[in-house]
Copies of this chain bind each other. A is one copy, B any other.
Amino acid sequence: MEEKAKLLVEALPYIQRFHGKTMVIKIGGEIIDHERLLKSMLKDVVLLSYVGMKPVLVHGGGKELSRELRKLGKPLKFIEGLRVTDEETLEVLHEQLAGKLNKQIVSIIAGVGGKAVGLTGLDGNLIQAKKLTLRRNQHGKEVEIDLGYVGEVEKVNATLINYLLNTGYIPVIAPIGVDAEGRPLNINSDPLAAELAKALKAKKLILVTDVPGVLRDVNNPASVISKLPISEVSGLIQNKIVKGGMIPKLEACIRAVQGGVEAAHIVSGHVPHVLLLELLTDKGVGTMITKDA
């Protein structure tokens, strides 16, 4: 019995440290797909909110989207990891992300006694974005690659989110921005989470993925790099230690840390209670990206 209480007491210093601090948590599509994991994680988010932190959730949803597009017999098209988004894709994106996933998350949170408000970047002009155009050199000429309705964040309107946080709501944000004419744009959720963390002056950005963190040896899950100053990232990329999908995640982390966020974390959603371990115990899990000492 007493053991139980002792464990609560051990959490005290962490609760004190992060009390009233905003935490932007991005939950990747792989975890969202995994119902049991998602429920457990959202319960933990509600707990964090009750012990005084201010969690903001950003969700992806690529898998759900791809599945739905496939159902409709629509070929998936990506350029440099970015989904080419035509009007029909955008519509399905709204249906699946804003309509289904976002509300599913809100519903689970309500079910465990939390209060969440689901939003997209359209709501209250929350995430102002502009169309993203890739400029690449092909055969010695610069060409513009059109990705369709894909955007990058220009400005985050923090007022509404701060109101929600201060009155005890957990904002749940789908990765859709709005351009100056009120048109929606598909936004990658990793850089979106980074921009939110900056705009909200968050203490931490946590990217919940399906890998254990940044690995020294991509074949060895035990080779997680615990602490990574931002200056060391470029070396890891040049030496091909870090590759593929991890690169934009690290870029998002760097953007956040350079923008004033104290630390960014890349953790695995498969570790049970990973958020509690990371935020309420001294057991660091995954990789923490920080300013250079």
For the complex formed, measure the closest distance between the CB of A108 and the CB atoms of chain B, giving whole angstroms.
Answer: 7
Copies of the polypeptide in the assembly: 6
Select which of B13, B51, B112, B167 is within 8 A of A182 by beta carbon. Answer: B112
Chain A interface SS verdict (over half): helix
Most buried by B among A9, A19, A181: A9
| Docked pose: A118 CA to B99 CA in angstroms | 11
Q: Is A232 an interface residue (CB 8 A)?
A: no
- Stretch from A27-35, A89-97, A135-143, A216-224 contacting the other chain: A89-97
Q: A5-B281, A110-B182 are in contact. Are A50 and B51 (CB under 8 A)?
A: yes
Q: Is the CB of A122 within 8 A of B98?
A: no
**Residues of chain B lying within 8 A (CB to CB) of residue A52:** 50-52
Q: Is the CB of B95 within 8 A of A100?
A: yes
| Docked pose: A159 CA to B99 CA in angstroms | 23
Q: A2-B273, A272-B5 are in contact. Are A125 and B115 (CB under 8 A)?
A: yes
Q: Is the CB of A111 within 8 A of B182?
A: yes
**Residues of chain B lying within 8 A (CB to CB) of residue A113:** 12-13, 16
**Residues of chain B lying within 8 A (CB to CB) of residue A150:** none
Q: Is A78 an interface residue (CB 8 A)?
A: no
| Docked pose: A11 CA to B280 CA in angstroms | 13
Q: A1-B277, A8-B276 are in contact. Are A50 and B15 (CB under 8 A)?
A: yes
For the complex formed, measure the closest distance between the CB of A282 and the CB atoms of chain B, giving whole angstroms.
Answer: 10
Select which of B2, B91, B109, B122 is within 8 A of A272 by beta carbon. Answer: B2
A106 nearest CB neighbor, chain B only: B122
Encode A38-73 as 1/0 by CB contact (under 8 A) with B: 000001101100111000000000000000000000
Question: Which A residues between 148 and 181 are near B, CB-CB below 8 angstroms?
Answer: 159-160, 163, 167, 169, 176, 178, 181
| Docked pose: A272 CA to B277 CA in angstroms | 25
Q: Is the CB of A116 within 8 A of B124?
A: yes
**Residues of chain B lying within 8 A (CB to CB) of residue A91:** 100
For the complex formed, measure the closest distance between the CB of A259 and the CB atoms of chain B, giving whole angstroms.
Answer: 25
4 smallest beta-carbon distances between A and B, as pairs = A99-B99, A111-B182, A5-B273, A110-B182
20 more A-B residue pairs beyond the given contacts A12-B112, A99-B100, A106-B123, with a C-beta to C-beta distance below 8 A: A2-B272, A5-B281, A8-B47, A12-B47, A15-B51, A51-B52, A96-B99, A98-B100, A98-B102, A103-B122, A103-B176, A108-B182, A110-B178, A115-B125, A116-B123, A116-B124, A117-B124, A118-B122, A159-B167, A160-B169
